[in-house]
Structure 1
Amino acid sequence: MKNLVKTFIVAGAAVSALAVPGVAMAAQEGAATPAASVGVADVKSRWCGHNYNSCVRERSEFARYYNVGPLQYFPVDPGCAGICYNGYVFDYWNK
């Protein structure tokens, strides 16, 4: 029964990622990933809302001052408290 639940959760995550246009494109934008010298504590996540295009713009603004990771779509804001909303998240860290 536990394996069935795990399979369902993984499949659900894959379906939700496919249902959002532009997610695959975001991963192919050539975004940097945190270098080995960057500690986990140095990497911060930013939730930027529900609109893909506005998140692309916000991520581009951050890229002027920080290293940024690709946009990721989450069914629920991972940092939420109380009522939670879905949306896009990206990681950033000092250059």
Structure 2
Amino acid sequence: MTARAVDVTISGRVQGVFFRASCVQEARRLSVAGWVRNAPDGKVIGHFEGDADAVVALIDWCHEGPRHARVDDVDVREGAIQHCEGFDVR
């Protein structure tokens, strides 16, 4: 397994549409560790780490998000492994 960590910022209509809860479900399905939270500016930010292919799959999911979301942009930056346990909302 090749480990990868990224920090993401998702913009658009991503708050109040179950984006975080849906992201947790998808991350757990993919066995990606990390966290996600709302930012004060209306964006959602997160940290994803785990198998490189699974992290890419979660990033791909973020481009669509849940049904009521409208994703305008997903900014992805390589991050440092934080050795997160599980995936949760912060």
Normalised to the residue count of structure 1, the TM-score between the two structures is 0.35
Structure (1 or 2) with the greater strand fraction: 2
Larger Rg belongs to: 1
Structure (1 or 2) with the greater helix fraction: 1
